[in-house]
Amino acid sequence: MPPVFPGAVFTPSADDGFIDDGVQVSLWDDDLPAISRLDPELLAAMRAAEARAADDGIRLGVTSGWRSAAYQQWLLDDRIASVGEETARAYVATPEQSRHVSGDAIDIGPVDAQYWLISYGSEFGICQTYGNEPWHFELATTPGSECPPMRTDANG
């Protein structure tokens, strides 16, 4: 059941950066705010990584990029409703804290693409930043340097 906000039921749309469950979009889908509102440096680094991944036969699909604050709140409320507050907060940041809302984070699939990016992303400055989210990446190091230690989860 979607959460109810004062005066209206919010339903996230493409304008909020919404990408449906099970859908992967391209790093080149500039018509989608989920892609076009990402930090330009992160997007450029991801596109460079994608070109290298393609040489290894790996396709980097985007399952989530930039999100509006309302969409992030909706995700958090929805998760709290389904799994409870403690578990939800380990995976879904508040709109104020979320690196997706600021355009500084991207979620990647499928699993072989995640594994590739965890292995080679640092060459492009891209790092997994939460230990419990192998799909979530941010620009977090100088290209060619090691990634910083991961935070345990979105709550830590």
Q: How far is the CB of 16 from Zn ion (least distance, A)?
A: 15
C-alpha to C-alpha distances, 156 to 5, 90, 111, 128, 130, nearest whole angstrom: 27, 8, 24, 14, 9
> Strands 4-5 and 8-9: what pairing?
antiparallel
Q: How far is the CB of 136 from Zn ion (least distance, A)?
A: 3
9-17, 33-41, 89-97, 129-137 -> range binding Zn ion (CB under 5 A): 129-137
Cα-only R_g, the chain = 15
Indicate the residue type of 12.
P
**Count of residues that bind Zn ion according to CB under 5 A:** 3
d(CA 139, CA 147): 9
16 is a contact residue toward Zn ion (CB under 5 A) = no
Cβ-based nearer residue to Zn ion, 105 or 127? 105
136 is a contact residue toward Zn ion (CB under 5 A) = yes
107 is a contact residue toward Zn ion (CB under 5 A) = yes
Applying CB under 5 A, the residues found at the interface with Zn ion are 105, 107, 136
